[in-house]
Amino acid sequence: MRAVVVGAGVYGAAVGAALARRGAEVTVVDARAPGSGTSGTTFSWVNSRNKQPLIYHELNVAGMAAHQRLAAEVPLGEWYHGGGGIEWTSDEAALRAKVDALLALGYEAKWLTRAEALDLEPGLDPDRVPAGGAAYFPGEAWVDPARLIAHLLSSGVDVVADDAVAGLELNGDAVRSVRLESGRVLTADAVVNCAGPRADEVSAMAGLVLPMRNLPCVLVYTSPVAVPVSRVVHAPNVHLRPEPGDRILLHCSEVDQGGQEAVDRLVRDARSLYPAMRAATVESVRTGQRPIPGDGLPVLGRVAQVRNYFFAVSHSGVTLCLHAGELVADEVLGEDRDDALAAFRFERFEESR
């Protein structure tokens, strides 16, 4: 089995590694360096806190478990960082209702008093934590995507970087080869579209129309600073987590709209939240795109119209990649995973046209 995986982000690396472990000859191709696209501009928060409908929530929960298993198998991998996540909002009643709903689904969640929240995150300004407390989700984590991708691509995968896919050669209802911009041609028994924001372009090469509604993502990285942040924190107007090298990664929905004013406001809010951050400066601002299929749900697995063409495209790629990568690899190698992937087939878009 010669498989060509298009895209060397978390999805492409996960699918490629899963195929290689099963004995396939795998080539992962990317227009840039591995992890330099969407996977390099992601908050990389492993969770299923706000995922609907239920089947999507369950897929993300399985994704969380897959990360925990891999972290246990490779304890020195240094890409997986547990510790859970803390959240508070201006609407305590709504957040408490969310905690109750998640608990009813079996998701790890609890309500913390202000003192308990400060025990977990002692660097927080006590005045910024509501008197009524905060929600805590112990099973959540964050991932260093660069380290994860490097590990996955070291699993016997051939990587072709800086060479975009320029076209596919089809013979009847199957792809026979993949042509790169360099002129190189890769013979393929299977092609997996893990192209993220460019997934619609790579789909069109196979005669498939994949609707996408990509959204911008802007992340702010601080300079190294001695701040005791040890987990993902969601507070009003600012989301943050640790970043390798003693940096802090900052995000909020407003900063995605761009502009220096939004960046400055985000940094001010973060400094107010963690007083020890007052010495931090902005080291870099990264802008990327979230790949979101037209109805917001993942597109995974085989395609009826092109029998050796497969998808692994979605938002929440970091959470989903290991679990979904295994499912997609199963289908590439001939196993039917309709039990897990029926709701995420490409054909739903064809039926709605």
Centre a 10 Å sphere on the Cβ of residue 137 and count the other Cβ atoms it contains.
Answer: 22
Compute CA distances 1 → 23, 148, 189, 311, whole Å: 8, 25, 6, 17
Instruction: Give me the count of residues in the chain.
Output: 353
| CA–CA separation, 265 and 150 (whole Å) | 34
The continuous run of DSSP H or E covering 72 comes out as: helix 54-73
The per-residue pLDDT for 258 is 82
Secondary structure of residue 80 in the 3-state scheme: strand
The per-residue pLDDT for 351 is 76
**Annotated domain spans of the chain:** 2-44+146-210+294-352, 85-138, 215-290
Over the chain (353 residues), the average pLDDT of each successive run of 10 is 98 98 98 94 96 97 98 94 97 97 98 97 96 98 97 96 98 97 98 98 98 96 94 97 96 92 96 94 95 98 97 97 98 97 96 70
Please choose, from the candidates 61, 74, 66, 242, the residue with its C-alpha nearest in 3D space to the C-alpha of residue 142. Answer: 242
Q: Which amino acid is at 64?
A: M
The per-residue pLDDT for 353 is 65
The continuous run of DSSP H or E covering 323 comes out as: helix 317-332
Strands 238-243 and 247-251: antiparallel
Query: Are 149 and 13 a contacting pair, CB within 8 Å?
Result: yes
CATH fold group of domain 215-290? Alpha-Beta Plaits (3.30.70)
DSSP 207: T
The per-residue pLDDT for 350 is 86
The CATH homologous superfamily for domain 2-44+146-210+294-352 is FAD/NAD(P)-binding domain (3.50.50.60)
Query: Where in the chain does DSSP place strands (E)?
Result: 2-6, 25-29, 45-46, 80-81, 85-87, 110-112, 134-137, 141-143, 158-160, 165-171, 174-180, 185-187, 190-193, 215-222, 232-235, 238-243, 247-251, 282-290, 299-302, 309-313
- Going across the sheet that includes 165-171, the strands are 165-171, 174-180, 185-187
